[in-house]
Structure 1
Amino acid sequence: MRASFSTYRLIALVFSLAVLLGGCEEQEIGRAAMPKSWANFLETRGVGEEAVLPDFSFAGYHYSERPIPEVDGPAFLVRDFGAIPDDGKLDLMAVQGAIDAASKAGGGVVLFEGGRYLMNSEGGIEKRLRLAASNVVLKGMGSGLEGTELYWPRHLEPEVPGKMYSTPFMIEVSPKSTQEKTLTKLIGRAKKGQFEIRVADASKLSVGDWITLRLSDPKAIKLFFGGRTPRKEWERSWTQGVQVAERHQVVAIDGQAVRFKEPLQVDVEDAHDWTLCSYPALEEVGLEGMRLTGDWKGDFVHHRSALDDGGWSALYLKNVRNGWIRDVEFKNWNYALKMSACSAFSVFRTRLTGTPGHHGVQARGGYGVLVGLSSDQAGHFHGPSVGYQSASTVYWRYDYGSKSSFDAHSTFPYATLLDACSGGWRYGRSGGPMAGMPNHMRGLVVWNFKRTGGKEPKFDFWRSGEFDDRDLFLEPVFVGFHGVETEFNLENMGLVESLGKRVDPLSLFEAQLMERTGGVPGFLVEELERWNAESKK
């Protein structure tokens, strides 16, 4: 049953009060109005019509339907493997030993005491922690000054000498193999927002399986670009075709009909070469309660060197689903957190501090990554980032520096929500190769964003000949964009509503989640209250 307008307004009031506790401006909230795009979402939900707004509620650990677990065992204390905090001795191999023991046991929590752990004493390419097993949690005593600190005083070198993007991360989490297998082809059509597809052969599928819905077909250009034509220098569109790698979980099979847990974020046409592939991934992996500290102290210059762009790279997760990062500070890194092909993943209460560098947080590929209640206080060159076929990525109540900007890193990201966020907005910060342009396909929704920096008075997101032809977003939707006065070229926008004034609901993600689940998830309220309390310290 869909909530009525009056029911929703009552629920929204609860969250409005919680936001007020966080120090938001009461008068501005009081002036908020309900936009037509939200009314359209409520009216079309469940009746088979496509809404203006994608459904972003399927994001986060188990799609925000259950809280992140408090895992307490079996416990593997790093002290028992030789890692003693504050003794000035190298702890890397001892910590790796605890991780390996938990992995071999089928899972567990790797526990750190309070204090500093020394994670390297020299650079190189192999001096890193690795986790390649499910059901393992790395847990410290908190990210505060009295909590747990993992400290790397030396940067790493590129795996390929001179190659800019080959420097490894200090911590890498991924399965031993991420190789996919083709399972079947799609037949028939399906519309964005629907949950069901038809396949040629469902014999290799089972309820509970996770799959990758793949497309790489130049014939799909018209489907995805509509009346717009990709430029000739956008080579990937013309040679490899528009690329999709949308992750889904199978919840029902009836003959050739396959139903997913999550809605499709793309239209499927049987004229194109769609396939279903396997999706190997780790599950129930977490990292929480610690401060990851590097020693990046340089004056960052974009693409000057491998050291600038990634010599100090902290945490990389690849092919992880139903996992989380919580209560973690990333200090003095030039690449803090990269998530590739991760799905149903939560990042809560994280802070990026210290020296600004290349990337803060980036989500590539995957479905339903939720980065919320977090801040980039360092002000990295690229702000909250998506790219490379990411879908249903949500940045929720994420604040970053006024000198930074949102980054869509090209190669067909789509269905991204920036929700009740704040930070700078400027040209020149969305990266990626020219061959992979545009920076973002349809489905970029910017909701109640507060612009705090940037000198540009007007933006055109489909221009040419300026700023190295970056920041190209296909018909984005901006609702409640406020702060620094801003104009947009409306001819190249999907929709602009309430420019200069916030709207109700204050958070689109919260509102859509309430609409889907029928109430306010208590654990989200608790996370919000904790974040507000911590932010006041």
Structure 2
Amino acid sequence: MTRQILFIGCSLFIYSIATAQQIPKILADPKTNYLPDFSYAGYHFGETSLPESEGKIINATDFGVKANDDLDDSKAILKAIQAANAVEGNVILQLPAGRIILSAVLYLERSNFVLRGTGSGTNGTEIYCPRPMMYLKDPESLAELREYLTTFDKRQRENENNIDLPFSQYAWSGGFIWTQIPGERVKSYLDKYEPAPQSLAKVSSGTMGEHFITVSDVNGLKVGDVVELQLFNKDGENGEIIKDLYKGARVKPGSHHWKFPKLPIVRQQVEITKISGSKITLKTPLTISIKPGYQAQLTEWKHLSEVGIEQLRFTFPDITRVAHHVEPGNNAIFLTRVFNSWVRDVTITNADSGILAEEIANVTIQDIVTDGNHLAHYTVTLGGVHNVLVKNLKIYNKAIHPLSFNTFATKNVYHNCEVFADPVLDQHSGANHQNLFDRITVHIHPDTNMAYALFGGGGADYWKPSHGPYSTFWNLNVQVINPEEIQKPVLLYGMKDGPFARIIGVNGNAKFEVKYEPDPYIEFLNESMEKVPSLYDYQLKKRLK
């Protein structure tokens, strides 16, 4: 039998090693301690493997792309994309092996499109970007972001380093490969640009964790539609939805929770599986309950589907880093407005940000490597996205936010990932909730006090707290560098405003203590997770039985 939890101070727990492996109690009795179902994350809700693409192949070499000639290939690749866009049905744009030089953004703007190289290894396809995006023409789709940055004078100020510089539009947006729907606004920055609501149905009720909503004024909805569910706070600082979102936790929500009543505070991209009168069944469960005062609605969600980016290597020059938020735009991939799509077998070297995402759902990002000497802002980050699965990500380079759930991220999963350099498990404020770090391995070097700040809570104060309830850590494997030097338990800490986190199975090559505030549920500390090594796999297998 496992001995009882020893409670020390505020949210500090130590568990002893069990004499026999057991199923975690949170699985055996989920009604007592709520645990979200994360199994819907990924391509086609995790129910099918990534496809081996079939379709008409357009060879980039037929349009003038020539690898390894030290000449810029941008114009030729753009011609090849134009030709591929003219193909009806599935199309594959095939890039050759060798180094391709790119100094323009490749916009992918249609469904059923795969951009494919010959592999991410040394003999595969390398996309080399000799200069960052700051030297390219300003993207039209970031005009609102640029206006926001100047209107509010967003600057990086570091007095100790004599830095006072304007934020870059590429600090968290943009990429040399960029999926988008032309003219479609992706992220809200300024209230004056919020569109008039185009409601397909008003939603009056629904229960957290369930699949059913009650609607009125249905406007042409049908089974199979993928739409966006939006919930609002129209009631100011004391709005009931804020209390519901944070479940009465001992945290102080920032002002953005009530200053923008036109902006949905909770959103999910959902597929309709059944319509029966005023009752609609959704493929995926609700992240919070819906009440009439939230003025919830279903709206159109414009998106691409079956878009793939695969078998590539990106290389950027190792330029000098100036400061946080002023990155010049050595960003590899920017995913917006895609559903049931994927990125796989991609290596990214010396990027400011490897893969950025906004307003996507049910995408799998798999078999990714980030490396290089350059200090990155992000590696693969998830902001404003739903049900995205990041699988088998290896991070060898240092990054400010190696793994990060950002603003409005819900029900996303980092699965079987490994961080080798200065790991931080970051949750970046902005009503993000119910995300999963699953079977993550981190390599740490504790400080002289045998402590390490593993749990990050980034983001601006106006979007605090760092995350909502039920963010989950499952089977976190912590590998201490030079474990023979460790003489006492290592304290893993860093989160002060992350309510009701589920932390199950922190283990590794030393003994650990965990400090996580406020009010965490902690189980299986210093125990390996032998029976349920992956929560995502466990829940998916159980659902598909």
Per the normalisation by structure 1, the TM-score is 0.81
- What is the 5 A alignment of 1:41-56? 41=30, 52-56=34-38
- What is the 5 A alignment of 1:135-214? 135-157=112-134, 159=138, 160=146, 163-167=166-170, 168-178=174-184, 181-187=198-204, 189-214=205-230
2:476 to 449, 452, 465: 449
Deviation at 1:295, TM superposition (A): 1.3
1:481 to 497, 506, 520: 506
Tell whether the 8 Å contact from 1:418 to 1:446 is kept in structure 2 after alignment: yes
- For residues 419 and 427 of structure 2, the distance between their equivalents in structure 1, rounded to whole angstroms, comes to 15
Residue type matched to 2:299 in 1? C
Kindly tell me the number of residue pairs found equivalent between the two proteins: 463
Tell whether the 8 Å contact from 1:50 to 1:192 is kept in structure 2 after alignment: no
Please, which moves more after superposition, 238-247 or 265-274? 238-247
The alpha-carbon distance between structure 1 residues 138 and 366, as it changes in their structure 2 partners (threshold 3 A), is same
- For residues 330 and 235 of structure 1, the distance between their equivalents in structure 2, rounded to whole angstroms, comes to 37
Q: Deviations over 1:495-526 (max 9, x none)?
A: 100112122300000111110112xxxxxxxx
Give the structure 2 partner of residue 265 of structure 1.
287
Tell whether the 8 Å contact from 2:455 to 2:492 is kept in structure 1 after alignment: no
Q: Which structure has the highest strand share of the two? A: 2
Tell whether the 8 Å contact from 1:410 to 1:437 is kept in structure 2 after alignment: yes
Deviation at 1:165, TM superposition (A): 3.5
Task: Give the SS at the match of 1:492.
Answer: coil
Tell whether the 8 Å contact from 1:177 to 1:280 is kept in structure 2 after alignment: no
2:537 to 506, 510, 520: 510
Tell whether the 8 Å contact from 1:419 to 1:446 is kept in structure 2 after alignment: yes
Residue type matched to 2:25 in 1? K
Deviation at 1:411, TM superposition (A): 0.8
- For residues 191 and 517 of structure 1, the distance between their equivalents in structure 2, rounded to whole angstroms, comes to 22
The alpha-carbon distance between structure 1 residues 383 and 135, as it changes in their structure 2 partners (threshold 3 A), is same
- For residues 517 and 206 of structure 1, the distance between their equivalents in structure 2, rounded to whole angstroms, comes to 24
Residue type matched to 1:479 in 2? I
Q: Deviations over 1:190-219 (max 9, x none)?
A: 221110101112233111111111122042
Residue type matched to 1:130 in 2? Y
Task: Give the SS at the match of 2:184.
Answer: coil
Task: Give the SS at the match of 2:453.
Answer: coil
Is 1:112–2:95 an aligned residue pair?
yes
Task: Give the SS at the match of 1:515.
Answer: helix
Give the structure 2 partner of residue 400 of structure 1.
419
Give the structure 2 partner of residue 34 of structure 1.
23
- What is the 5 A alignment of 1:435-474? 435-452=462-479, 457=491, 459=493, 461-462=495-496, 472-474=497-499
The alpha-carbon distance between structure 1 residues 495 and 171, as it changes in their structure 2 partners (threshold 3 A), is same
- For residues 361 and 33 of structure 2, the distance between their equivalents in structure 1, rounded to whole angstroms, comes to 23
Computed over aligned residues only, the root mean square deviation of the Cα atoms, in angstroms, reads: 2.5
Give the structure 2 partner of residue 368 of structure 1.
387
Tell whether the 8 Å contact from 1:300 to 1:357 is kept in structure 2 after alignment: no
Deviation at 1:163, TM superposition (A): 4.2
Residue type matched to 1:493 in 2? D
Deviation at 1:365, TM superposition (A): 1.9
1:227 to 245, 248, 251: 248
Unmatched runs of 5 consecutive residues or more in structure 2: 1-16, 139-145, 151-164, 186-196, 445-451, 482-488
Give the structure 2 partner of residue 25 of structure 1.
none
Residue type matched to 1:116 in 2? R
- For residues 355 and 516 of structure 2, the distance between their equivalents in structure 1, rounded to whole angstroms, comes to 34
Give the structure 2 partner of residue 85 of structure 1.
67
Is 1:350–2:355 an aligned residue pair?
no
- For residues 397 and 492 of structure 2, the distance between their equivalents in structure 1, rounded to whole angstroms, comes to 26
Deviation at 1:312, TM superposition (A): 1.2
1:391 to 392, 404, 410: 410
Give the structure 2 partner of residue 306 of structure 1.
327
Q: Deviations over 1:405-434 (max 9, x none)?
A: 012121111110100002256268432211
Report % sequence identity: 26
Tell whether the 8 Å contact from 2:475 to 2:507 is kept in structure 1 after alignment: yes
1:237 to 232, 243, 257: 257
Q: Deviations over 1:217-274 (max 9, x none)?
A: 0421221223336537x11124236810111001111111111111112221223221
Tell whether the 8 Å contact from 2:41 to 2:412 is kept in structure 1 after alignment: yes
Is 1:499–2:502 an aligned residue pair?
no
- For residues 309 and 411 of structure 2, the distance between their equivalents in structure 1, rounded to whole angstroms, comes to 22
Tell whether the 8 Å contact from 2:495 to 2:516 is kept in structure 1 after alignment: no
Tell whether the 8 Å contact from 1:402 to 1:453 is kept in structure 2 after alignment: no
Deviation at 1:84, TM superposition (A): 0.9
Tell whether the 8 Å contact from 1:33 to 1:502 is kept in structure 2 after alignment: no
- What is the 5 A alignment of 1:67-86? 67-86=49-68
Residue type matched to 1:389 in 2? F
Per the normalisation by structure 2, the TM-score is 0.80
The alpha-carbon distance between structure 1 residues 372 and 244, as it changes in their structure 2 partners (threshold 3 A), is same
Q: Deviations over 1:317-345 (max 9, x none)?
A: 10111000111101110111011111111
Tell whether the 8 Å contact from 2:41 to 2:387 is kept in structure 1 after alignment: yes
Residue type matched to 2:414 in 1? Y
- For residues 89 and 115 of structure 1, the distance between their equivalents in structure 2, rounded to whole angstroms, comes to 12
2:355 to 310, 313, 337: 337
Tell whether the 8 Å contact from 1:490 to 1:496 is kept in structure 2 after alignment: no
- For residues 99 and 363 of structure 2, the distance between their equivalents in structure 1, rounded to whole angstroms, comes to 28
Task: Give the SS at the match of 1:157.
Answer: helix
Tell whether the 8 Å contact from 1:29 to 1:502 is kept in structure 2 after alignment: no
The alpha-carbon distance between structure 1 residues 430 and 491, as it changes in their structure 2 partners (threshold 3 A), is closer
The alpha-carbon distance between structure 1 residues 30 and 286, as it changes in their structure 2 partners (threshold 3 A), is farther
Please, which moves more after superposition, 453-462 or 329-338? 453-462
The alpha-carbon distance between structure 1 residues 491 and 361, as it changes in their structure 2 partners (threshold 3 A), is closer
Task: Give the SS at the match of 2:83.
Answer: helix
2:45 to 63, 68, 88: 63
2:344 to 317, 320, 326: 326
Deviation at 1:77, TM superposition (A): 0.3
The alpha-carbon distance between structure 1 residues 67 and 458, as it changes in their structure 2 partners (threshold 3 A), is closer
Please, which moves more after superposition, 222-231 or 193-202? 222-231
Deviation at 1:489, TM superposition (A): 4.7
- For residues 291 and 63 of structure 1, the distance between their equivalents in structure 2, rounded to whole angstroms, comes to 27
Is 1:134–2:116 an aligned residue pair?
no
The alpha-carbon distance between structure 1 residues 32 and 178, as it changes in their structure 2 partners (threshold 3 A), is farther
Task: Give the SS at the match of 1:481.
Answer: strand
- For residues 101 and 54 of structure 2, the distance between their equivalents in structure 1, rounded to whole angstroms, comes to 24
The alpha-carbon distance between structure 1 residues 435 and 486, as it changes in their structure 2 partners (threshold 3 A), is farther
Residue type matched to 1:231 in 2? K
- For residues 318 and 295 of structure 1, the distance between their equivalents in structure 2, rounded to whole angstroms, comes to 25
Please, which moves more after superposition, 493-502 or 329-338? 493-502
Deviation at 1:299, TM superposition (A): 4.7
